[in-house]
Structure formats: structure tokens, C-alpha cells
Amino acid sequence: MHKIYIFLFICLVACVGCELHLKPNDANGEDQQVSLHRYDRVQSLFLTTGDFSALQQMNLDYPMQTRTLIEDVLKLGRVNDPDINNKFLNFYQDTVLQSLINEVEQQYANVDDINSSLQNSFAKMMDYLPNMPLPMVYSQIGALDQSIVVGNNTVGISLDKYLGSEYPLYKTYYPENQRRLMKRDMIVPDCLVFYLLSLYPIPDDGMLRQLTCDLHIGKIQWLVNKAVGRKVFRTQYVEQANKYIRHHKGLSYEKLLLMARLP
């Protein structure tokens, strides 16, 4: 099949025919709430049937998401290239990618739990960081490429990277320590971590960049643990952030994230 890019967490954070018309967002979202826009469903319809109306909906309802997927994630060319639609369709005709699409359709037929977690976690994060803009969050089907794509106040979640640690295909390409993170209950924590990293990027600290990177990610992961209400991330740097905030109770979370390092 086409080349599969192994997702490495630290690398990504250190360096995005019929009349059927699927709703862009399945959930009845309200103002100041985040819920999952099901771009993957329109994408899946086009990639499995070649339905031109689905392609039109992708381009009309999700132009930025389609451009990001084609140009930045899959790197198939420019979205306005004359043959890009055929190239895009043909890319996903690989049997492995078709099986991924089918698996995503089955596992994520219902995303009520994800929407509930997104809404609750982002509501808490807004309490912690009142100036944080709410992103548009959408789901897509990549090609076992990037798990999360962030840009222009949007967060794209590649559901094909969250099919469970025991998903047979993963065992061919990923070590066990990566596979145990490729599961449904990591979607919201990953979404929050990468979105916060886009708002509060890793400070440039010269020779100590790796330590600065680890500490900065630890602070963000600690805050995400707090927002989702469980200890998803457990590292020495998360614990260091936890100890620091316990001894500096008056420190705002925004100031914590803006600090280059913990004194």
C-alpha cells in the first residue's frame, strides 16, 4: 500500500449520484460548546462509492478540511489540480485503506460519548483559560498518518488512528507502547493537548530545548488531566507540574503555560 507514516508523539509536538446530504455536525451543538463535525462520513461516502454529490459537499461544507487533508496530510498535490479528485479517490482504493474506512464506520457509528466528553472537557478548560477560543473539531479518515491536525482554529481527528490497541493492522506498524494510546478514550485528551500546544507553543530555550519541551508538554498534560477528570498522562513532568501548582495556588493556569520553565 502507499507509504504509511508512523506517528511519533514527540516529533509532532516539537515541530496539522444520490440526494443524500449528511449534516456537517451530527450533534445539536449550542453556542460555546464543542462537538464533533462528521467530515469523515462525507469523506467515506465519496471514497467508497465515488458519489459526486459527496465530493461536492466536501468542497462546499468543508473546503479547509479537504484542502488540509489532500495537501498537508496526504500530500497528493494541490486541491485545485485538474486531476486531484481522481488521485484522491484512487489513493484510498488500496484494500488496507478501504478496510480502515469500513472499521471507522463501524466503531464510530455513534459518537455521543465523544461529544459529551468534548463538551465537558472544553467547558472546564474555558474556566481554566477564559481567553481560549473554542475550535471547530472534526473527524476524518487519514492513511495512518497524523492523529491530530491543528490549524486555523480547527482540530482534525483522524479516527483511523483510534481503532483500539488490539486492532490487527496496528500490530504490523506500531510498537506496543504506541498502540496502547491508539484507542477511543484518547481522542479527547489528544485533541486538547494538541490544541493547547497550538495556542501555547513550546518556548525556544536554546541548548535546553528538550528539557523545556518535556516540561512544557508536562504542564499541558497536567491541565488536560484536570479537564478530562482522569489521569490520562502520567510522566515525571506531569507530576512536576502538579507539585509546582500545589505550592503556587495563586498562579493562573495561563501564566503557568506561558512560563518557559518551572523555577
Check whether 207 has a pLDDT greater than 80.
Answer: no
Question: Looking at the predicted structure, is the pLDDT value of residue 6 above 80?
Answer: no
Three-class DSSP category at 139: strand
In the DSSP assignment, the letter for residue 25 is B
7 has pLDDT over 70: no
CA dist., res. 222 & res. 235, Å (int): 9
pLDDT at 15: 37
Nearest to 134 by CA among 28, 39, 32, 254: 32
Question: Do residues 97 and 143 lie in contact, with contact meaning Cβ atoms separated by under 8 Å?
Answer: yes
DSSP per residue over 222-259, as a string? HHHHHHHTS-----HHHHHHHHHHHT-TT--HHHHHH-
CB 73 within 8 A of CB 142: yes
31 versus 260: the higher-pLDDT residue is 260
Sign of the torsion formed by the C-alpha atoms of 68, 35, 126 and 189: negative
Q: What is the pLDDT of residues 22-42, one digit of tens each?
A: 334 443 434 568 999 999 999
- Summarised one tens digit per residue, pLDDT across range 49-59 is 999 999 999 99
| pTM of model > 0.75 | yes
* DSSP string covering 187-220: HHHHHHHHHHHHHSPPP--GGGHHHHHHHHHHHH
| pLDDT tops 70 at residue 11 | no
Say if residue 110 is exposed, middle or buried (CB neighbours under 10 Å; 0-12, 13-18, 19+).
Answer: exposed
| Residue (of 3, 33, 2, 12) closest to 181 by Cα position | 12
Whole-number pLDDT of residue 255: 92
Three cell numbers, residue 149: 491536525
Q: β-strand 136-140 against 154-158: which pairing, if any?
A: parallel
